[in-house]
Structure 1
Amino acid sequence: MKSNRGIRTRCTAAAVFGVALCAPALATEGGGSIYPNGVENFLVGAMPPPGFYPLVYATSYHATELRDDRGNDIAAAIGGFKADVAGVIPRFIWVTDQKVLGGQLAVHAIVPLLNVDVRVGSNKNRNTGIGDINLAAALGYHVSPELHYVVALETNAPTGRYDRNDVASIGRNYWNIEPLIAISYIQSKGLNADLKLMYDYNFRNKDTDYKSGQELHADYALGWGMGNGWALGVSGYIYRQISDDKVGGVAVAGGNRGRAFAIGPSLRYQNDKGWMITAKYERQYEVRNRSSGGAFWIKTLIPL
């Protein structure tokens, strides 16, 4: 087993949607990601008709474990670890009347409001504020009444407050671009299946000269429509870091690549007026080079 002596610790909150993913300097800088893995749920690939749609996400994440590259919990070796993050995350979507490449054009903005409370050994802090803002353009396609998909390009801007010496920084202090495709198969009574596949390219943190590796990950949901607006099932995510972290242009020893898998119960309710709510709990498993815990998520869509 590798020695844990000399492990450097720096934790940050993943600033979009408000999930904290904190760890030693393993697996992307601070052990977190800009995208909050597992945030999405049923209907992720079904773009609504033209109009303006405010969504609100709410989350609560709790973790007391830190996993190294062998999956061992090293929290005790560094004097203890705890991360609690609560977030209320408004998302504003405008689906236009414009068609581009046969798809319905939409744009969105996400402005996360976060409360981050982190302790690593004797080092602890709590911060509240606006995290890194997400902007995106998307095209929505409707193959049939059941099958829908969206292609999009998202950009995450380093707008959240950041301090390289703060274990509870709200922002990550680097730009990120994320192309994605989301697919939904929907039956009011029968199978419901959703997949959002994403690729993250992370730019350099100018304050630390650290460049986090590229990431491939997917949110998923699988359930059964009950025929009365309800769908019940499971959801979660799969995460893999696919390139090494670098400092000063040189790969970090061992690559510091992270991975994780999460699953938990999920439900959705949608009425015939377009109002929707989803709720779920997800527990992380098979974690490497990251914190390990669980998160509650609620998402509401309110048509105007």
Structure 2
Amino acid sequence: MHRQRRITTTALAAVASVALAAPAAADEGGVSFWLPGIFGSLAAAPQQPGFSLTSIYYHTTVTAGDNVARAREIGAGRLPVTVAASVEASLSSKADIAIVIPSYTFATPVLGGQATIALMTIAGRNTTAIDARLDAAVLAGPFAVSGSRFYGISETDTGVGDLYPQFFLRWNAGVNNYMTYITGDIPVGSYDPTSIANLGIGHGAVDGGFGYTYFNPATGREFSAVAGLTYNFKNPDTQYRNGVDFHVDWGASQFLTKQLQVGLVGYLYQQLSCDSGSGDRVGCFESRVMSVGAQVGTIVPMGEIQGYLNLKAYKEFESENRPEGWNVWLTLALTPAAAPPPTATPSRRLALK
């Protein structure tokens, strides 16, 4: 029973140990480096030493009102600032992303804890559309109108995103587990500053934080929370710098059997400081969003490999200067199976008597 719980912890920890940037979701145009919900149950629990592979299918559908839609258009150069006040617009976006995260957990302790390194890559498709009404406030250039003009923009980006190196340290003390992490963005993915749909974010970022997991193998109950801060570098194409972001991801679950887990998930994302830079033409534009959801997971024994399949879904609310909607995660984590306990030899069994 205890060994089975250890295997469960290892598999779930591989799912929960990844950090991720948003494929395209206030920050510049409502797009942030951090993708809320990437951490989940057993985020700080120990992992099995060796190579692991986590694959995630991520789908999100979001909408936003006038403020985010106008910011996205202005940032892409579709509207001059003088016209922005004369626009009423709405934004809708949908993304289907494949995420691959190979990682390696060291057997040798580092600072008394367990170290893991990982590199995340993403690929997929992001489609964003803006419907707007331009009123006759400015009668100049291509935006000259008489009365009102309705127009729509729809763009799709299909390709690969940025690279995200990651480093984790975890410590275990009975039912209490602790973690610290650092990750960042290497902006090499698909990005066009004149587009309203991108898979990359066009600038570097550094994110770090701390996590805690309570897990009692005897009862099968657990609770996890991870909090972090993001520092964004200036976008060299737009001269826009996102403010500092704060985020908390959490998960709570109950193991109904040795293989089946159900629970709740949620997150809070809050921008702490204003956007800035010479390319900031929308002002402070601090963003916020909250979400709650549900999860279900199952252990899949595969011999020397331990598989874990997890499905979780979030519904967002209380958004400000950021799109709001829902998202679904389907995750398969493959980790080394925990080694069975050593079997006593005949001589040792005799000695034990």
Structure 1: gaps spanning 5 or more residues: 1-14, 22-26, 70-76
- For the residue of structure 2 that corresponds to 1:98, the secondary structure is coil
Q: Residues 80 and 216 of structure 1: is their aligned pair in 2 closer, same or farther, counting only changes over 3 Å?
A: closer
Map 1:79-98 → 2, pairs under 5 A: 79-98=89-108
- For the residue of structure 2 that corresponds to 1:30, the secondary structure is helix
Amino acid at match of 2:191: Y
- Is the contact between residue 83 and residue 119 of structure 1 (CA under 8 Å) also seen in structure 2? yes
Map 1:253-264 → 2, pairs under 5 A: 253=283, 255-264=284-293
- Is the contact between residue 18 and residue 87 of structure 1 (CA under 8 Å) also seen in structure 2? no
Partner of 2:299 in structure 1?
270
1:239 and 2:269 correspond: yes
User: Which of 13, 16, 20 is the aligned partner of 2:24?
Assistant: 20
Report which stretch shifted further, 280-289 or 92-101: 92-101
Q: Residues 257 and 164 of structure 1: is their aligned pair in 2 closer, same or farther, counting only changes over 3 Å?
A: same
Give the TM-score, by structure 2 length: 0.73
Report which stretch shifted further, 266-275 or 103-112: 266-275
Greater CA radius of gyration, 1 or 2? Answer: 2
- For the residue of structure 2 that corresponds to 1:261, the secondary structure is strand
Rounded to whole Å, the distance in 2 between the matches of 1:178 and 1:196 is 12
CA apart distance, 1:97: 2.4
Amino acid at match of 1:278: N
- Is the contact between residue 18 and residue 114 of structure 1 (CA under 8 Å) also seen in structure 2? no
User: Which of 311, 323, 342 is the aligned partner of 1:291?
Assistant: 323
Rounded to whole Å, the distance in 2 between the matches of 1:171 and 1:224 is 36
Rounded to whole Å, the distance in 2 between the matches of 1:128 and 1:280 is 24
Partner of 1:118 in structure 2?
128
- Is the contact between residue 262 and residue 297 of structure 2 (CA under 8 Å) also seen in structure 1? yes
Partner of 1:169 in structure 2?
198
Partner of 1:220 in structure 2?
250
- For the residue of structure 1 that corresponds to 2:316, the secondary structure is strand
Rounded to whole Å, the distance in 1 between the matches of 2:280 and 2:37 is 31
CA apart distance, 1:17: 6.0
1:301 and 2:333 correspond: yes
- Is the contact between residue 36 and residue 249 of structure 2 (CA under 8 Å) also seen in structure 1? yes
Structure 2: gaps spanning 5 or more residues: 1-18, 69-86, 132-151, 337-353
- Is the contact between residue 17 and residue 87 of structure 1 (CA under 8 Å) also seen in structure 2? no
- For the residue of structure 1 that corresponds to 2:29, the secondary structure is helix
Rounded to whole Å, the distance in 2 between the matches of 1:284 and 1:124 is 23
Map 1:71-220 → 2, pairs under 5 A: 78-121=88-131, 122-144=152-174, 146-188=175-217, 189-220=219-250
Q: Residues 250 and 115 of structure 1: is their aligned pair in 2 closer, same or farther, counting only changes over 3 Å?
A: closer
CA apart distance, 1:82: 1.7
How many residue pairs get matched?
276
CA apart distance, 1:16: 4.1
Give the TM-score, by structure 1 length: 0.84
Q: Report Cα offsets for 1:223-242 as digits up to 9, x if no partner.
A: 22213222211102101100
- Is the contact between residue 240 and residue 280 of structure 2 (CA under 8 Å) also seen in structure 1? no
- For the residue of structure 2 that corresponds to 1:193, the secondary structure is strand
Rounded to whole Å, the distance in 1 between the matches of 2:127 and 2:52 is 31
Q: Residues 78 and 258 of structure 1: is their aligned pair in 2 closer, same or farther, counting only changes over 3 Å?
A: same
Amino acid at match of 1:52: F
Rounded to whole Å, the distance in 1 between the matches of 2:281 and 2:196 is 24
CA apart distance, 1:282: 0.3
| RMSD across aligned positions (CA) | 2.2
- Is the contact between residue 24 and residue 198 of structure 2 (CA under 8 Å) also seen in structure 1? no
Q: Report Cα offsets for 1:81-113 as digits up to 9, x if no partner.
A: 221100110001100123221112211000011
Report which stretch shifted further, 90-99 or 267-276: 267-276
Amino acid at match of 1:293: G
Report which stretch shifted further, 223-232 or 213-222: 223-232
